[in-house]
């Protein structure tokens, strides 16, 4: 057991050393080549994909071109100081950029694929490089080419508790709103129409649409006014104001209704930048229940739950593929103190191996 944990830990450290930020194509390519070398044995088939210049790869066993279970991980990370790409073990944690989000999860899935090469279960591993940009040329494209019965992303569990199974994540709706006014000299504002003031009036109407929004555990559609731009100088009445909203949608107020309600506000122009549906998988799905059963064999308290942030698994949902987010423990993604919990790596490996053996093995796995 200790040997397995050390192997996964060392593999995670090697992956973290690649500065695979989205703007560093050389490091992304080097990391992909490292993964390809890891699966260089004859048991594996590796297929490269490139969509709009964005590379990804899918690893399967032999000639299995469309596996029943698709494991998912991304190797792109958010920018950080050079020091964060030198992983550090401390107090049962591994610190470094991407340890949590999500190279520890990738390392476990890589090790799992190699660990089960003799059995050759009906599964594959999808490695993408643009999740931090929305996954539009990675998972979005690949889930159109592959049609698994079930998908699992090893994104970190950073909810309260330990290694929960996530079956729901909010949808993502990004809008650009704008108002127009009339420019005038700042000393004579009555000669103009202030587009910023006009927007602030309209903003009250927009925010009123989300009046049910609350703090804490409320699973509601929320809005964040993330960026606003208006005016050119302080002595000029601004003739245009633009604002960008980040809206996270739940079932009670879906994307289509939000868009229509905002478009119905007079004097406000609306541009849809991104319209992404929820991850939503039935908790009674046979594979969700089987994964929960496997987790219960190793964990004292594993729940099926939901969390607000989105992931690539929404692209699976878009194609009607049942999917969950379930990964090792990781915290503070994108932050200077990002880390993964070392003990959870072996726990996660054991759970996933039991699940794969139960439902996707060559000697009896499959849907009931």
pLDDT in tens, 161-180: 789 999 999 999 999 999 99
Q: What is the DSSP letter of 100?
A: I
What pLDDT does 159 receive?
Answer: 65
Beta bridge partners of 56: 49
What pLDDT does 368 receive?
Answer: 43
Domains of the chain listed by start with CATH number: 2-170+278-359 (3.40.630.10), 171-276 (3.30.70.360)
Alpha carbon separation from 234 to 80, 127, 184, 185, 192 (Å, rounded): 35, 49, 11, 10, 14
What pLDDT does 217 receive?
Answer: 60
What pLDDT does 215 receive?
Answer: 57
Question: Residue 56: CB partners within 8 Å, gap ≥ 6?
Answer: 48, 49, 50, 126, 127, 128, 129, 130, 137, 138, 142
Q: What is the pLDDT of residues 330-362, one digit of tens each?
A: 999 999 999 999 999 999 999 999 999 999 997
Alpha carbon separation from 202 to 128, 223, 263 (Å, rounded): 40, 14, 11
What pLDDT does 2 receive?
Answer: 79
Alpha carbon separation from 4 to 149, 164, 168 (Å, rounded): 29, 22, 31
Neighbours of 290 (CB within 10 A): 20
Alpha carbon separation from 100 to 78, 119, 170, 201, 232 (Å, rounded): 11, 29, 20, 41, 41
> In the chain, which stretches have pLDDT less than 70?
1, 158-159, 212-217, 363-368
- Determine if the pTM surpasses 0.85: yes
- Could you give the CA distance from residue 315 to residue 75 in angstroms, rounded to a whole number? 17
What pLDDT does 367 receive?
Answer: 44
What pLDDT does 193 receive?
Answer: 96
What pLDDT does 161 receive?
Answer: 72
Alpha carbon separation from 76 to 19, 82, 285, 367 (Å, rounded): 9, 15, 30, 33
What pLDDT does 214 receive?
Answer: 59
């Amino acid at each position: 057991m200790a040997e397995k944990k050390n192997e996964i830990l060392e593999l995670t450290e090697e992956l973290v050393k690649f500065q695979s930020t989205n703007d560093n194509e050389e490091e992304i390519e080097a990391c992909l080549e490292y993964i390809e070398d890891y699966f260089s044995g004859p048991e594996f088939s590796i297929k490269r994909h490139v969509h709009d210049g964005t590379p990804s790869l899918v690893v399967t066993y032999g000639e299995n071109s469309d596996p029943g279970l698709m494991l998912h991980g991304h190797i792109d990370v958010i920018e950080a100081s050079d020091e964060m790409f030198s992983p550090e073990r401390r107090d049962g944690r591994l610190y470094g950029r991407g340890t949590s989000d999500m190279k520890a999860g990738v390392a476990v899935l890589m090790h799992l694929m190699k660990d089960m090469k003799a059995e050759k279960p009906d599964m594959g591993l999808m490695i993408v490089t643009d999740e931090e940009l929305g996954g539009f040329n990675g998972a979005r494209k690949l889930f159109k080419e592959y049609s698994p019965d079930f998908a699992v992303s090893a994104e970190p569990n950073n909810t309260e508790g330990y290694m929960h199974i996530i079956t729901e994540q909010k949808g993502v709706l990004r809008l650009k709103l704008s108002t127009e006014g009339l420019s005038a000299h700042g000393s004579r504002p009555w000669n103009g129409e202030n587009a910023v003031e006009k927007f602030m009036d309209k903003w009250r109407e927009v925010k009123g649409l989300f009046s049910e929004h609350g703090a804490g555990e409320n699973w509601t559609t929320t809005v964040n006014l993330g960026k606003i731009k208006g005016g050119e100088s302080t002595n000029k009445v601004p003739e245009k104001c633009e604002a960008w909203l980040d809206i996270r949608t739940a079932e009670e107020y879906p994307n289509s209704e939000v868009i229509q309600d905002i478009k119905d506000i007079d004097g406000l122009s609306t541009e849809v930048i991104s319209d992404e549906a929820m991850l939503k998988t039935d908790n009674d799905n046979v594979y969700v229940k089987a994964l929960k059963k496997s987790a219960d064999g190793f964990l004292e308290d594993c729940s099926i739950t939901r969390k607000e942030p989105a992931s690539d698994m929404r692209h699976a949902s878009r194609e009607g593929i049942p999917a969950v987010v379930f990964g090792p423990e990781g915290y503070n993604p994108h932050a200077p103190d990002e880390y993964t919990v070392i003990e959870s790596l072996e726990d996660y490996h054991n759970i996933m191996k039991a699940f794969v053996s139960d439902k996707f093995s060559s000697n009896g796995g499959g849907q009931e």
